[in-house]
Chain A
């Protein structure tokens, strides 16, 4: 039995179709990542599984149960991290966690969880005075305190600094090792690649692609080299050095139409070294999810748009 099952789910808000016949499944003890830009239908899908959204049609099952009809049986076995808010603003972090612990039959000792998520220092601080990253970590703690069999983490790494993000990844891997099923949504392709056993890419309320991160990254992969660096490099000169056409696909993103042989890579890096170019990354032989995403959805993902300084904005609606 799949721990999570979504079959032909449709959710409409009035005239707007947020989720349009999405199907997915996750086995027990696996990490499933839902990847997609803002407004793709990620949160709506997760909230249907959490019992917050009634499907317009189709079915959702959590541990074989209907999250709305069987709410009382489902909620003790799941942990939920909302995208934002959800905590009494004036209540101290430690008190909130102890309160949530009291809802469950066999909770994780709150002190242990605070320690594990590096929140011991702020246990006496009210929620509203916590930093964004601390609020995220407390939300995660609240999702995990009841020892859930299924954890729903909606953009868990939003607002986390790199150190906190590593702690989060550590925790998610630990959950999987303990047999917990994790459904996480993310904009961050790197995060999906690192954590997920299975990635489902959705856009416009539909599944665009799915598979293991490795399979997705390989599919359609061509004999080419990609690298990132400063915008406006002399593509003709690089092409001459490497022996293949070079195009700047987007500012600072280069595609070299040459097989990713050690010789070609050596020539490319030699040229870059000669010019003393600061290289962001070089990908050879295998595409990154970012590239897959671009190819499948025909647009840069929201994560990529966020990185472009002028495009920085947050969608007010649910993603």
Chain B
């Protein structure tokens, strides 16, 4: 237990002290949120009054994705490349213990992100609804799905390839996730693909729960749940520690 606590603390500190990770976790989301809320260049769906009402849930989803997918994949990939994971294999810190510490660290960073992004969004005029339970459930499912995907890459590919792919996926899912660009603006076939991805499902879930205060569409739950089931299983089957 002491090993797990120390490991979780170390993982959180490593993320928060890492400039690139911090830029990804807070810098880019805050920048996008402020810029597109104040400069009206993006199409805003008719059902929302202000751009920030559309953007805030999307940017929260982006923040969750950046931590669960991109940061976790890159950090774990390099730790594997540097032999850190191998070395930890002969310490009393068990592999489940290490994974649990990583989960805790992802959740802790997400808390910091929410604590920064929500006040910024509110300052920009966002009025969140109180439907927090659905949002928390969606964030947890999304975190599992993205972390599974991140570990799937980190455990199978070279660290450099993981780095490139994690950043590429971040950009693709940002554009196809309905986070800043409404899915309605995408051409039909692309929209169909986007709707099957976990990014858009998480955005959808957040936008209906904390955004509009309505029920989360079933399709979003199904997509999130399927990804949350599939990616950790695939990662567990393919992960190589060395």
A residues at B contact (CB < 8 Å): 50-52, 72, 75-76, 78, 80, 82, 84-91, 95, 98-100, 102-104, 142, 146
> Within 8 Å CB of A84, what residues of B?
83
Tell yes or no: B79 within 8 A of A by CB. Answer: yes
Beta-carbon contact of A100 and B91 below 8 Å:
yes
Q: For residue A139, which residue of chain B has the nearest CB?
A: B87
**Chain B positions 77 through 91: 1 when the CB is less than 8 Å from some CB of chain A, otherwise 0:** 011001110110111
CB pair A90–B87 under 8 Å, yes or no, is no
Closest to A51 in B: B90
Q: How far is the CA of A87 from the CA of B10 in the complex (A)?
A: 13
Chain A, Cβ-Cβ closest to B90: A80
Contacts of B86 in A (CB 8 A): 52, 82, 85-86
Looking at the complex, which of B1-9, B60-68, B212-220 is the stretch in contact with chain A?
Answer: B1-9
Q: Return the 4 tightest CB-CB contacts between A and B, nearest first.
A: A86-B87, A85-B83, A102-B6, A80-B90
Pick from A51, A75, A89: contact of B92, CB under 8 Å: A75
Give the residue name and chain of the A residue nearest to B2 (CB): A102
Check B90 against A50 for contact (C-beta < 8 Å). Answer: yes
Distance to closest chain B CB from A141 (angstroms): 13
The complex places the Cα of A52 from the Cα of B89 at a distance, in Å, of 8
Contact among A51, A72, A82, A100 with B94 in the assembled complex (CB-CB below 8 Å)? A72
Contact present for A85 and B82 (CB under 8 Å): yes
Q: Is B17 an interface residue (CB 8 A)?
A: yes
The interface residues of chain B lying within 8 Å CB-to-CB of A80 are 87, 90
Task: Give CA–CA (A30, B87) in the complex, Å.
Answer: 24
A210 to B84, CA, bound (A): 34
B6 pairs with A88, CB closer than 8 A: no
Q: How far is the CA of A51 from the CA of B83 in the complex (A)?
A: 15
Task: Determine how close the nearest CB of chain B comes to the CB of A185; give it in whole angstroms.
Answer: 16
Residues of A within 8 A of B87 (CB): 80, 82, 85-87, 142
With A76-B92, A99-B6, A99-B10 known to touch, is A52 a contact of B242 (CB < 8 Å)? yes
- Kindly identify which residue among B5, B7, B14, B92 contacts A90, using a CB–CB cutoff of 8 Å: B14
Contacts of A76 in B (CB 8 A): 92
- B81 closest partner in A (C-beta): A85
- Complex CA–CA separation, A78 to B92 (angstroms): 10
Asked if A86 and B82 sit within 8 Å, CB to CB, the answer is yes
Mask, B1-39, CB within 8 Å of A = 1, is 011011100100010011000000000000000000000
- Which partner residue on chain A sits nearest B242 by CB separation? A52
Residues of B within 8 A of A91 (CB): 10, 14
Q: Smallest CB-CB separation from B97: which chain A residue?
A: A103
List residues of chain B with CB within 8 A of the CB of A90: 14, 17-18
The CA-CA distance from A169 to B121 in the complex, in Å, is 61
Quick check: is B93 within 8 A (CB to CB) of the other chain?
Answer: yes
Whether the pair B84, A88 counts as a contact (CB closer than 8 A) is yes
Could you tell me the distance between the alpha carbons of A99 and B2 in the complex, rounded to whole angstroms?
10
Query: Could you tell me which residues of chain B, from 159 to 201, have a CB within 8 Å of some CB in chain A?
Result: none
Residue from the list B6, B7, B90 in contact with A75, Cβ < 8 A: B90
A91-B90 Cα distance, complex, nearest whole Å: 19
Which residues of chain B come closer than 8 Å to A85, judged between CB atoms? Answer: 82-84, 86-87
**Would you mind naming 5 contact pairs between A and B with Cβ atoms under 8 Å apart?**
A72-B92, A88-B79, A89-B78, A98-B6, A99-B7
Q: How far apart are the CA atoms of A120 and B14 in the complex, in Å?
A: 22
- Further 10 A-B residue pairs, CB within 8 A, beyond A72-B92, A102-B5, A103-B93: A52-B242, A72-B94, A78-B90, A86-B83, A87-B84, A90-B14, A95-B10, A99-B7, A99-B10, A102-B7
